[in-house]
Amino acid sequence: MRMVDLIERKKLGEALTDAQIRFIIEGFTDGSIPDYQMSAFAMAVLFRGMDDRETAVLTDAMMRSGDTVDLSRFGDKSVDKHSTGGVGDKTTLIVAPIVACLGGRVAKMSGRGLGHTGGTVDKLEAIPGYRTVLTPEEFMQQVADIGIAVIGQSGNLTPADKKLYALRDVTATVDSLPLIASSIMSKKLAAGSHSIVLDVKIGSGAFMKTPEDGARLAERMVAIGRHCGRRVRAVMTDMDIPLGKNIGNALEVAEAADVLLGRGPDDLREVSFVLAQNMLELCNGWSADEARSRVEEAVASGAAFRKMQQWVAAQGGDALALEDHTRLPQARHALRVTAAHGGYITATDAQRIGEASCILGAGRKTKDDAIDYAAGIALHRKPGDRVKTGEELAVLYTNDEKTLAPAKELLLSALTWGEEAPEPQPLILGVVE
Return the SS3 of 421.
coil
Return the SS3 of 34.
coil
CA triple 377-380-382, angle to 5 deg: 105
Tell me which residues are annotated as active site. 82, 161, 168, 183, 187
d(CA 326, CA 392): 22
> Residues 22-53, buried b or exposed e (16+ Cβ, 10 A)?
bbbbebbbeeebeeebbbbbbbbbbebbbeee
d(CA 140, CA 108): 11
Return the SS3 of 167.
helix
d(CA 362, CA 370): 9
d(CA 77, CA 388): 50
> Residues 228-237, buried b or exposed e (16+ Cβ, 10 A)?
bebbbbbbbb
d(CA 7, CA 74): 42
